[in-house]
Amino acid sequence: MTKRIGVILLPLLILMSISFAQTPKATTGIKFFEGKWAEALVKSKKEGKPIFLDISASWCGPCKLLKRNTFTDKTVGEFFNKNFINVELDGEVGEGKQLAQYYNLEAYPSLFFVNGQNKVIHKSLGYMTPDALIELGKEALTKK
């Protein structure tokens, strides 16, 4: 009986420790706005912050790296959460597809900085390290 309990509890404890170990990293990075694009534009106008828009694709390797290595970085999160309304969309689905067409998407990932009037003020393509993304954000703020 004791062996059975051990056989059941050991995998359960391992799964729990893995999920808890990943939680802090996921909560320290960029917090993305959950809502419609029109709502993000309204929020941008109201708060006087530009929108940081990440348009990616589910199959895109550099997009996955950006999400895993850069967007989860604590310093990136602090900077972007303070200075931007952050939005991430899949460029092949729903509003993401519409915005990809509207902004003439050239490649994945595409990083746009958009003002409250839906005008691109700065953009970049491809993977970026945390430091490079912060520098890009600083450049965008000078153009707002």
Residue 127 and residue 118: Cα distance in Å, rounded? Answer: 24
71 neighbors 137 (Cβ within 8 angstroms) = no
* Structural domain includes residue 88: yes
Distance between first and last Cα of the chain:
67
pLDDT at 28 (0 to 100): 87
Residue at 1: amino acid letter: M
* Structural domain includes residue 33: yes
Number of structural domains in the chain: 1
Whether the predicted pLDDT of 11 surpasses 70: no
Torsion of CA 91, 96, 100, 102, to 10 degrees: 170
Residue 54 and residue 66: Cα distance in Å, rounded? Answer: 10
CATH number of the domain to which 90 belongs: 3.40.30.10
* Structural domain includes residue 17: no
The whole-number average pLDDT for the span 65-81 is 97
* Structural domain includes residue 93: yes
Catalytic residue among 40, 53, 55, 60: 60
Whether the predicted pLDDT of 96 surpasses 80: yes
* Structural domain includes residue 75: yes
Cα angle 118-119-123, degrees, rounded to a multiple of 5: 115
* Structural domain includes residue 19: no
Range of the domain at 100: 27-143
Whether the predicted pLDDT of 7 surpasses 60: no
pLDDT per residue over 105-119, tens digit each? Answer: 999 999 999 999 999
The whole-number average pLDDT for the span 91-120 is 96
Among this protein's residues, is 60 annotated catalytic?
A: yes
* Structural domain includes residue 46: yes
Among this protein's residues, is 13 annotated catalytic?
A: no
Catalytic residue among 41, 51, 53, 63: 63
* Structural domain includes residue 110: yes
